[in-house]
Amino acid sequence: MKTPEEVKEVAEYLGMVLRSTGKVKRGLGTIRQDVNVSIREGARVEIKGAQELRLIPKLVEYEALRQKGLVEVAAELRNRNASVGKAVDATKVLENCASEVILSVTVKGGAVLAAKLSGFKELIGRHFLPEGQPVVRLGKELSGYARAYAGVGGVVHSDELPNYGITAADVDKVNRFLGCGDNDAFIIVAASRESAEKGIKAALEMAKQAMKCVPSEVRKANDDGTTTFLRPMPGSARMYPETDVPLVAPQLEGITLPRLLIEKTADYQKLGLSPDLAKSIVRSDYAELFEELIGKFQTLNPAYIADTLMSFAKEMAILGVSAEAAAAVSDDSLKQVFAAVNSGKLAKESVVAAISSAAKSGKLELGKYALMSDAELEKELKAIVAANKGMPFNALIGKAMEKLRGKASGQKIVEKLKTLTK
């Protein structure tokens, strides 16, 4: 896969294949795919838990740009002959600092550790994504390592200072203490001494890695399309079979592969469904019911059955039925309703009204919505014609439909009126 959109297409296809089996759950989070991204001069990075299909292109794009930024930073650091210093205790240096970040640690007896990063100035804070996009930079990577390995709040670096209550005077003190030159930077970690030591050690290891190349990592997908460091990529020694899971030899004889959903979609279009309707029904919770209904009631148009299944909940909302009640309508009730339409006992126009009534009362009463007999319909239409003599035919149809909607099919009303007005 060469582009973010291609990755999305493949992910969508894999999800479709799984759903085609009918053996997987539906809904967000039931199918999660890991996305592996690498660029030229970069490294394979595995993004865990990419569960939202729409987010995959952004995850891939942002990761590619992150790696590109790290590649460029590494090249610049090599040109500068950059180096990473050792962690030193800077608690005394910042003992008068008014920053909440520092004070919240020192009042509890914690430590403020700092380290010089020679040649790193303005590279820690360089943004890897275009303006207006989420913040992705080397400083965030350093913080990610410190959080993952030590559970500290993060890393403060000189490219973002003065900030967080750390003044320019405080920055000068740290620069002098560490012996930083014009092209140098520093990082600070404030936490309990044990956590601070672990945190700054992890951040410095990442800084050393940043001088060489993009590290191969496992990262977590974030909601904004960025990623967060989880752990290094397992080495080749990790690639072994699970030792506590017995081997199973699959018996393939007699297995019939299910039709893929895209194949079913094409089949439904041949039955007269529009491309959008075919795609909607095949991906819906009513897919199996639709298959059963079109097989059982072959006098009903498949497109009508599909459209009714996909739209009745919205129409019920207009009649005051809650979404929860609409979702609770059973397949059995829907089968009874379609059976009544198929046998001519219920008008298509009365389907939603009958289902809505059942949703409200908990009981399906098709008799309340039964079609008129031909004799009853003719009697009603004669009365309408007699009361509206001289009315144009189309207006007469409107009068009849207004009174008799749901009591007879529209086609039969029109045909009867034509006979009565000749």
Residues 284-300: tens digit of each pLDDT? 989 999 999 999 998 99
Q: At residue 376, does pLDDT exceed 80?
A: no
Q: Which residues pair with 232 in a beta bridge?
A: 217
Q: How confident is the model at residue 372 (pLDDT cuts 50, 70, 90)?
A: confident
Both structure tokens of 3: 């582009």
Query: How far does Cα 156 stand from its chain's mean position?
Result: 32
Q: How confident is the model at residue 307 (pLDDT cuts 50, 70, 90)?
A: very high
Both structure tokens of 57: 């292109």
> Taking residues 353-382, what's their average pLDDT?
80
Distance in angstroms (rounded) separating the CA atoms of residues 173 and 354: 79
pLDDT given for residue 339 in this prediction: 93
* Superfamily (CATH) of domain 83-210: GAD-like domain (3.30.1360.30)
- Cβ atoms of residues 293 and 335 within 8 Å: yes
For the chain, the residue count is: 422
Distance in angstroms (rounded) separating the CA atoms of residues 356 and 364: 9
Map tokens 């079109």 to a residue: 294
> pLDDT tens for residues 155-168?
999 999 999 999 99
> Taking residues 198-207, what's their average pLDDT?
97
- Cβ atoms of residues 115 and 158 within 8 Å: no
Q: At residue 397, does pLDDT exceed 60?
A: yes
Query: How far does Cα 401 stand from its chain's mean position?
Result: 45
Which helix H or strand E contains 111, and what residues bound it? strand 111-118
* This prediction's pTM: 0.76
Q: At residue 194, does pLDDT exceed 70?
A: yes
